[in-house]
Structure 1
Amino acid sequence: MYDKSDPRSQLAPAPAAKGKPPTGLIAEEQLATFYDSPPQIEDDNGRIWFIRGHNFVLAYCEMAPGGTLSRGDQPDEYVLLMPEAPAQITAGEAQADLPGHQIAFVPPGDSQVTLPEGGVVIGLFTTASADLVALCPNARAYDTPRSHVPAFEPWPTPPDGLRLRHYSLDVPKAEGRFGRIFRCTTFMVNMLDPREGPRDPASVSPHHHDDFEQCSLLLEGAYDHHLRWPWTTDMADWRPDRHIEVTGPSVLVIPPPVIHTSRAKGDGLNQLVDIFCPPRADFSAKPGWVLNAEDYPTPNQG
């Protein structure tokens, strides 16, 4: 259920489930608090923390000036999110010298990103990057299969092929649009509109997803994440409610079909990013919501 002021209240309702609720949930949230845990990599290039979801790996990187990240023989398209810092990206023969506040989609093969001034860059990779999965502290968290999350399938390749693409995050807020959404063949990233001060506790939006995880990356500020496990016919699936207090930078991966809502509570700027792997069909179906929709076809178009 969404508050009436939430643009997601415009989404078409999901088809009603048939039969009794599915059992075999056995799903736990995945939490990483980068602000109070050691990085998995620390070298001259900077510090990197990792966390995985069912289909993806997130790398949160605090780069030293001139720090470089490289990928060789990358198997599929990945994402680089630069919330503030300028970046230089090379992908095969393509190069881009970007100001801060950008998102880039990088094709398979050899690539690298350098932050001349240092700063934060977030990398998003599918679990096809087995070397990165192995670096995650929760690498074994999905050894027990998740019955509610289908196997990952990438979305269609653009007609002009996979190539380095980048977009500015400096997009003005628009009435009726939910955040600033970009997608590629592997991910959908929603840079939510920043919130100054706490969210009104009388206008939260508890909801759930039937068959995909939500990764909520908190870049700045403070949030309370509220989670409620549904009662299935098997009590082994039940969990107590969880209320998770975090500051930035941190990540919470929310499993389906857990009911959830997140409330900003910081007095200053609160900046949350929602990430989905693969992209969401319901968001993609809303005209004007996906800002680079012309570059990436949906499965119905592909």
Structure 2
Amino acid sequence: MSAANTMYTSDDPRSKLTSGSAVSGGAPVATGFGPSHYVMFGSTPPQIDDETGQTWFGRGQNFVVAYTRAKPGAVFERKGQADEYVLLIEDRDVPAVITANGQVEQVPGYAIVIVPPGKSSIALPEGGEIVRLFSRENGDVAALAANAAGYAVQQPNIPAYQTWPEPPGGYRIRPYSLDVPAQPGRFGRIWRCTTFMVNVFEPDGPRDTTKLSPHFHDDFEQCSLALGGSYVHHLRWPWTANQAEWRDDEHMVCPAPSIAVIPPKSIHTSASIAPQDNRLVDVFAPPRRDFSQMEGWVLNADDYPMPEA
């Protein structure tokens, strides 16, 4: 994404972005436009409803979001997990015990946890709301997504999926507290690993509609995960010489919990509309190069190197 592809206000930290493509390798040649996807968790039947609780799945081209309302004592195991996955717990009162490769980490809640490939488990002694993020390489969860049919074929303008370099210290459970104070010039609270970049925003009230941030991405999808409040996602596609490619504007209201998957090339911005407790998380797979190049934006940058240019 280049600075020319934005309409940010001058006080928006993203107005300082200057890199070209957000994904290594550059933007592919446009071949039409892909559609948006909206998956409403909670208000639709869950894909899993068993002794662990209820879990909904939605996906993008390179990722799967699993939203769970877990019962006390629930345990979520992964066997043969292809790569790193992410556990997000926004509630301060949802403790978890994560086990992998002989390592055990107890997390009190309000944390993001990177879990290594292979065999692992997440135990929730008191239950609660959690989110897990898996890459497209894990076909068992990808097949469960409510919108799986929309990704039966590769969507346009998205390069082939590539993970980022392995952490120098090797794979292990890496928990990070969400309790990070705001800092002028930094955009949200961003963590990355080999498979994902996750930006967890602070709770907020209604957005000032005179200070929206319409912009587009050349070569990757954005997943906006609402975990509190409600959002309107505004999307507009550019006109091309081929009228068959034109799409109507969208102004989709997505109450939490939900995801909006925003395709490349579409001009978009999101506005929180609930009186309070609007909580949004942006998800990207693989990580964004442009955000990673901004000094101080990625909070665990020392743990995960960037790929070579």
Q: Shorter-chain TM-score category?
A: over 0.9
2:174 to 146, 162, 165: 165
Aligned to 1:133: 142
Deviation, 1:233, is: 2.0
For residues 146-191 of structure 1, the C-alpha deviation after alignment (integer angstroms, 9 at most, x for no partner) is 2200011000001111111110000001111000000000000000
Residue 146 of structure 1 aligns with an amino acid whose one-letter code is Q
Asked whether 1:296 is paired with 2:296, we answer no
1:39 to 32, 42, 46: 46
Residue 171 of structure 1 aligns with an amino acid whose one-letter code is V
Residue 25 of structure 1 aligns with an amino acid whose one-letter code is G
For residues 48-107 of structure 1, the C-alpha deviation after alignment (integer angstroms, 9 at most, x for no partner) is 000110001110011001111110011111111111121110012011010110111111
Moved more, 127-136 or 230-239: 230-239
Distance 2:239 2:18 in 1: 25
Aligned to 2:69: 62
Distance 2:66 2:190 in 1: 20
Asked whether 1:262 is paired with 2:262, we answer no
Contact 2:61 2:154 (8 Å CA) reproduced? no
Moved more, 43-52 or 231-240: 231-240
Distance 1:44 1:35 in 2: 17
Distance 2:17 2:203 in 1: 22
1:89 to 67, 74, 98: 98
Distance 2:232 2:184 in 1: 26
Asked whether 1:25 is paired with 2:32, we answer yes
Aligned to 2:120: 111
Alpha-carbon RMSD: 1.4
For residues 242-300 of structure 1, the C-alpha deviation after alignment (integer angstroms, 9 at most, x for no partner) is 00011111100000010000001110111100000000001000010000000000002
Task: Report the CA distance shift for 1:22/1:75 in structure 2 as closer, same or farther (over 3 A).
Answer: closer
Distance 1:217 1:44 in 2: 25
How many pairs does the alignment contain?
295
Deviation, 1:193, is: 2.2
Distance 2:202 2:294 in 1: 18
Name the SS of the counterpart of 1:123 in structure 2.
Answer: strand
Deviation, 1:226, is: 0.1
For residues 121-166 of structure 1, the C-alpha deviation after alignment (integer angstroms, 9 at most, x for no partner) is 1111111110111111211212233220001100000111111111
Asked whether 1:14 is paired with 2:20, we answer yes
Aligned to 1:53: 60
Length-normalised TM-score, structure 2? 0.93
Name the SS of the counterpart of 1:294 in structure 2.
Answer: helix
Contact 2:33 2:265 (8 Å CA) reproduced? no
Asked whether 1:250 is paired with 2:258, we answer yes
Contact 2:30 2:157 (8 Å CA) reproduced? no
Moved more, 292-301 or 198-207: 292-301
Contact 1:25 1:146 (8 Å CA) reproduced? no
Structure 1 residue runs without a partner (length 5+): 16-20
Distance 1:269 1:79 in 2: 23
- Structure-to-structure mapping, 1:188-199, within 5 angstroms: 188-195=197-204, 197-199=205-207
Aligned to 2:191: 182
Name the SS of the counterpart of 2:244 in structure 1.
Answer: helix
Length-normalised TM-score, structure 1? 0.95
Deviation, 1:22, is: 5.1
**Runs of 4+ residues deviating >2 angstroms:** 21-26
For residues 8-42 of structure 1, the C-alpha deviation after alignment (integer angstroms, 9 at most, x for no partner) is 11111537xxxxx9553241111111131010000
